[in-house]
Amino acid sequence: MIRLAIFVFLVIVVYKLLGGLIKGVSVSSRPEVPAGKSTAELVQDPQCGAYILPAQGVEARVAGQTYHFCSESCRDQFLLEHSDSVD
């Protein structure tokens, strides 16, 4: 009778351990975004091709369109190349 109780106890322990491992593996690898916060989308710098957050870059309007740049030097180079259409 004691052997049966020990066997049942071990089966339950192993079941709980395996269940925890399976849950840990099946959790999504994407981090959760807290409620009320949104994820910002990256934009591509048209001059060098780098991806940046719009709020952290340098902005310029050319021909009625807003462009975002990784640096002032990329913005300035872009404006030189498109100087005929700057707003």
User: pLDDT for 18-65, tens place per residue?
Assistant: 877 666 655 555 556 565 555 678 999 999 999 999 989 999 998 889
Q: Flag whether 38 is in a domain.
A: no
When divided into structural domains, the chain yields a total of 1
CATH number of the domain bearing residue 61:
2.30.170
Q: Flag whether 66 is in a domain.
A: yes
Please identify which residue in the block is written with the tokens 């049966």.
4
Q: Using 50, 70 and 90 to split pLDDT, how confident is the model at 71? A: very high
Residues ≥6 apart with Cβ < 8 Å to 86: 60, 61, 62, 63, 79
| Count of CB atoms situated within 10 Å of the CB of 26 | 7
State if pTM tops 0.75: no
Q: Flag whether 16 is in a domain.
A: no
Dihedral, CA of residue 27, residue 33, residue 36 and residue 39, to nearest 10: -140
Residue ranges making up the domain that contains 79: 43-85
